[in-house]
Structure 1
């Protein structure tokens, strides 16, 4: 997953770049779920992480998530961008 575009696109400060997980297309019983009936996926994998935020004391406080971890997304958060034909969302 760590393609060239992801290495070149580095979030700044306390920003995080995530890739939304794929929606379930088949139930456990094997029934195909149509695209319109699929729920919105609110889970994502962290692709890139910024260096951290600078505090009042001038020290950099690192971001608490690491690349590869699963995170929950806000329902209406993030801005969609496309890198190497993959849809990603930079988050605060």
Structure 2
């Protein structure tokens, strides 16, 4: 049975994107050139409430590619896959091609 995690409040579940460590021609790339902290949004919470009780929705949606901070997030393992939980306001931005 596959588990599905629905984040609470303004949290976002992200699967980090691991860039290739070598080119198509087989040339190994240095770690620094392959390091971009990005991930794909897998699930989002409903949002948080402000002081007046109004719902503030999460600013990203499932399927978005996001830029993540270098540190932070909570590691979550579901089955054999590894994910990270971030608060909406910890996400630095969305990446578009």
Asked whether the two chains share a fold, i.e. TM above 0.5, the reply is yes
Answer whether contact 1:24 1:38 (CA < 8 A) is retained.
no
Counterpart for residue 44 of structure 1: 39
User: Residue in 1 aligned with 2:20?
Assistant: 24
Q: Extract unaligned runs of 5+ from structure 1.
A: none
Give CA-to-partner distance per residue, 1:26-68, whole Å, 9 cap, x none: 22543134xxx43444000001100001011111111010000
Structure 1 runs of 4+ with >3 Å offset: none
RMSD: 1.9
Tell me the TM-score normalised to structure 1 length: 0.79
Q: Which residue is equivalent to 2:58?
A: 63
Please give the TM-score of this superposition, normalised by the length of structure 2: 0.76
Question: For the Cα contact (< 8 Å) 1:20–1:41, is it kept in 2?
Answer: no
State how far apart, in whole Å, the 2-side matches of 1:63 and 1:69 are: 12
Gap runs ≥5 in structure 2: 88-97
Alpha-carbon shift at residue 4 of structure 1 (Å): 3.4
